Amino acid sequence: METGNPTEAFSIADMQNGKENIRELILSENIREEIKKIYEVKKQNLAIKAEIGYERLAFGEISDPVKLMFIKDYDENQIKSMNLFNISEIKRLKDGTIEIKFFDRMKALEKLHQIEINRSENEVLPFYSALENGIKNLTLKNQYES
């Protein structure tokens, strides 16, 4: 699942006679089902991480980046402890000043809005599909009874 390459996966897993067993294992229904489950979990986790990232960009604090602009002498630990997530770019100009560019909060909000629309559609569409199928089944049942 991690590599996307069965031969490499066998090598990482340090399995003996990997090349002979790859085809057999790939064709195994149990293994294919397990890979599907793992893939779905990874996909959900990635979607959650993306949504959290957009929320941090849209609503995150900028006090640490502002502090960064005014610090003349800083140490590495001080920088490591700062929340600089919202920064897209930092430049030190020739005159010694720092230019900081932030990620666009409006774009992050638009992405969050789109995520919510997609979520709503995914929740509503199965309901309507079930409703349509129920109506079709009732119609077929009435036709058979007639």
DSSP 44-113: HHHHHHHHHHHHHHHH---HHHHHHHH-SS--HHHHHTS--TTEEEEEE-TTS-EEEEE--HHHHHHHHH
Residue 15 confidence (pLDDT): 62
Residue 64 confidence (pLDDT): 92
- Do 108 and 97 fall within a single domain? no
- Do 32 and 6 fall within a single domain? yes
Range of the domain at 88: 60-103
- Do 139 and 122 fall within a single domain? yes
- Do 1 and 54 fall within a single domain? yes
- Do 64 and 88 fall within a single domain? yes
Residue 60 confidence (pLDDT): 93
CA distance linking residue 84 with residue 10, whole number of Å: 40
Residue ranges in the chain modelled with pLDDT below 50: none
Mean pLDDT of the chain: 81
Residue 143 confidence (pLDDT): 67
- Do 93 and 119 fall within a single domain? no
Query: For the chain, what is the domain count?
Result: 3
- Do 76 and 113 fall within a single domain? no
Residue 88 confidence (pLDDT): 94
- Do 5 and 46 fall within a single domain? yes
- Do 46 and 99 fall within a single domain? no
- Do 68 and 113 fall within a single domain? no
Residue 1 confidence (pLDDT): 64
Q: Is the distance from CB of 112 to CB of 51 less than 8 angstroms? A: yes
- Do 108 and 136 fall within a single domain? yes
Closest residue by Cα to residue 129 from 139, 118, 121 = 121
- Do 65 and 53 fall within a single domain? no
Residue 141 confidence (pLDDT): 65
Phi-psi region of 14 (alpha: psi -120 to 50; beta: other; left: phi over 0): left
